[in-house]
Amino acid sequence: MAFKNLKAVTIFGFADCPPSDPLYKETVDVTRLIAQNGLEVVNGGGPGVMRAATEGAHEGGGVASVATFYPKFIENFEGKDPQNKADKEIIMNNYVDRTMKLLELGDAYIIFNGGTGTLSELGMAWGLAYLYFGHHKPLILYGGFWYPIVEELVKNMKIGARPGALRVYKIATTPEQVIGYLKEFDLEMPPHQEIKDDLSGEKAFME
């Protein structure tokens, strides 16, 4: 089955993940299958899960694009990894713009295990999905560890008071499950040009 609405998937995850970490292999396996199904893989251009995403895309015969920026005064930002050999690089002015570009480029998001940066990206992606519910970009949380995390968030925060917020994501534990969810999302999703225009910060004019 060819995808009709989904064209690209943005990958978020831990920058400090070495190739020896099982998380790295998981990312390669998932993105390889995504590429084999004809979807572009997008990531932040850094090391760890980002580099693994590019490698997986290429192993699957697909294309990887990255959104990066080159900071001068951010000690804890990993920056561009020269070993992340993506096919296309978009250079942004700052960290926030880079995050927004990653959200703009993907038609769906996969969030792997990660640190504070991944957590902030999840929060933005999840918040936007709720705001645009019905025209939203879906999320896939990869890994069984997400189950207790989401359960605690729903239990202790007010997320459950907004039912739509719990309908914009799925939790997957295998690459095949990821593709299955993406196909489900693809059937349900309207075209996303309106959201892409909003995220790019450009005024959209519609006839």
> Are 39 and 77 within 8 A, CB to CB?
no
Alpha carbons 68 and 46: distance in angstroms, whole number: 8
Alpha carbons 40 and 9: distance in angstroms, whole number: 6
Average pLDDT value over all residues in the chain: 89
Q: Please report whether residue 185 resides in a domain.
A: no
Residue 78: give the domain boundaries. Answer: 65-82+99-105
Residue 32 or 164, more confident: 32
Residue 1 has pLDDT above 80, yes or no: no
Number of domains in the chain: 1
38 three-class SS: coil
Residue 195 is predicted with a pLDDT of 55
Which residue from 46, 178, 31 is spatially nearest to 102, judged by alpha carbons? 46
pLDDT tens readout for residues 112-145? 999 999 999 999 999 999 998 888 999 999 999 9
Q: Please report whether residue 78 resides in a domain.
A: yes
Q: Please report whether residue 11 resides in a domain.
A: no
Q: Please report whether residue 69 resides in a domain.
A: yes
Q: Please report whether residue 156 resides in a domain.
A: no
pTM of the model: 0.89
Q: Please report whether residue 74 resides in a domain.
A: yes
Residue 193 has pLDDT above 90, yes or no: no
Q: Please report whether residue 72 resides in a domain.
A: yes
Q: Please report whether residue 52 resides in a domain.
A: no
pLDDT tens readout for residues 40-92? 999 999 999 999 999 999 999 999 999 998 877 776 667 788 999 999 999 99
Q: Residue 109 burial by CB count (10 A; 0-12/13-18/19+): exposed, middle or buried?
A: buried
Q: What percent of the chain has pLDDT over 90?
A: 71
